[in-house]
């Protein structure tokens, strides 16, 4: 995928790392992109508009009305709506904590924020700030909100910061930002061009199960279903017919075209999955199914009486192993393994024991991966033991990677 001819808005905000925006402009222009820089007032304290205008071969914009000498003070209007419609991508790099907060809250106090609110194109935020600012709950929440709006976050990197501290907060290198754009358009082009999944029937399990102890209590786990729902959304976008068997979650339907079957217990999930299995071309088992269930759930609430309380548990049906034994030629199965130790060894055992085509390995030792996060870091191993390692990404991006692996196998 080429960036040549792409129209890119580059937003530069008040951060010491604004000096890197000059190299980013140069790389984008060299790649054939048409670059328009929009700066905040505070950004001009770190790098001059003249530098970026010279590199981009376009006047830098920072105000709604032109009064500066490079535009002869003609009073012409920088139309934020037209800018938002003009661009193929809006990259805000560096994105300061202040800018992240304004955009997350929808505050429109300058040209850059107005362009962001008007943009119909993909928006990429590349944050840059000191480590404590980057890790502060308000910044974390603002990044989460921006991501939930459909924006893309180019995570800050780990290293020495301007304060002298060492940690996450460094602006991603210009080469990394450029590669992110290449990867985005390559995936978009692939999704648009690929017909391999058109008409394919995909069965996906997601979320936790709840195993009743009595009418009030149950055994469960920390799964939110976010990963499975993202996978369902990605397969629909690739043209597949998707059936989602979902344990209890607070998530909305991932896409209107998804057929969702709601279940509660491991046995219910097994029954629904078994029923849909024979007609499925691709099966993705991402649910966190309980391994054990109470042997004799009470029909009334158990009262607190004794100092200790014993609960007899019995094994649930192993959905992956059962379906793997029934798998027919042409069917493809992907399972998940969340591990805390001996990760690869345990994942390989599961891959072969359950007759899977891929095993998606998560490690709870990886920061930002596992239950509850909007991000995930995975390693995928196929039945030939070929390994695909992926960096920490949003779960929607991880889902796209998994769909791409399936498409390649077809």
Please identify every residue annotated as catalytic. Answer: 221
Contact (CB, 8 A) for 314 and 293: yes
301 in a known ligand binding site? yes
291 in a known ligand binding site? yes
Contact (CB, 8 A) for 359 and 335: yes
Contact (CB, 8 A) for 178 and 24: yes
Angle at 96 between CA 90 and CA 102, to 5 degrees: 75
Residue 21 to residue 13: CA distance in whole angstroms? 10
Here the tokens at position 144 are 């989460």
Residue 3 contacts by C-beta under 8 Å, 6 or more apart in sequence? 28, 31, 32, 33, 178, 181, 182, 185
Contact (CB, 8 A) for 288 and 309: no
Element (H, E) at 90: strand 89-95
Neighbours of 187 (CB within 10 A): 16
Residue 111 to residue 83: CA distance in whole angstroms? 10
377 in a known ligand binding site? no
Contact (CB, 8 A) for 30 and 111: no
Contact (CB, 8 A) for 121 and 87: yes
**Cis amide leading into 94 (omega within 30):** yes
Query: Known binding site for CTP: residues?
Result: 291, 301, 336, 350, 354
């Amino acid at each position: 995928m080429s960036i040549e001819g792409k129209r890119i808005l580059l937003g530069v905000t008040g951060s010491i790392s604004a000096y890197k925006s000059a190299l980013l402009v140069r790389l984008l222009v060299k790649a054939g992109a048409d670059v328009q820089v929009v700066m905040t007032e505070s950004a001009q304290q770190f790098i001059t508009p003249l530098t970026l205008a010279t590199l981009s071969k376009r006047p830098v914009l920072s105000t709604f009305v032109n009064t500066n000498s490079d535009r002869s003070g003609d009073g012409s209007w920088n139309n934020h709506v037209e800018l938002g419609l003009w661009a193929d991508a809006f990259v805000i790099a560096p994105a300061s904590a202040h800018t992240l907060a304004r955009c997350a809250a929808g505050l429109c106090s300058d040209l850059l924020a107005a362009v962001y609110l008007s943009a119909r194109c993909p928006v990429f935020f590349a944050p840059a700030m000191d480590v404590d600012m980057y890790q502060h709950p308000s910044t974390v929440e603002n990044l989460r909100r921006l991501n939930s709006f459909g924006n893309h976050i180019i995570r800050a990197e780990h290293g020495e910061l301007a304060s002298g501290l060492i940690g996450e907060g460094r602006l991603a290198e210009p080469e990394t930002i450029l590669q992110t754009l290449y990867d985005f358009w390559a995936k978009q082009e692939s999704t648009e061009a690929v017909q391999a999944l058109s008409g394919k029937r995909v069965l996906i399990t997601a979320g936790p199960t709840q195993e009743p102890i009595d009418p009030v209590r149950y055994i469960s786990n920390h799964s939110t279903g976010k990963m499975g729902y993202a996978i369902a959304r990605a397969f629909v976008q690739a043209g597949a017919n998707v059936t989602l068997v979902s344990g209890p979650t607070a998530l909305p339907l991932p896409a209107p075209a998804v057929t969702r079957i709601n279940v509660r217990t491991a046995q219910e999930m097994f029954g629904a999955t078994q029923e849909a299995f024979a007609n499925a071309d691709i099966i993705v088992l991402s649910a966190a199914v309980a391994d054990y269930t109470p042997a004799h759930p009470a029909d009334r609430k158990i009262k607190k009486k004794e100092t200790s309380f014993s609960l007899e548990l019995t094994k649930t049906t192993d959905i992956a192993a059962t379906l793997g034994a029934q798998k027919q030629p042409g069917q493809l199965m992907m399972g998940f393994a969340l591990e805390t130790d001996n990760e690869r060894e345990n994942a390989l055992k599961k891959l072969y024991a359950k007759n899977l085509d891929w095993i998606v390995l998560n490690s709870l030792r990886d920061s930002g991966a596992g239950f509850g996060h909007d991000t995930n870091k995975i390693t995928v191993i196929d039945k030939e033991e070929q390994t695909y390692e992926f960096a920490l990404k949003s779960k929607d991006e991880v889902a796209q990677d998994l769909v791409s692996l399936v498409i390649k196998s077809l």
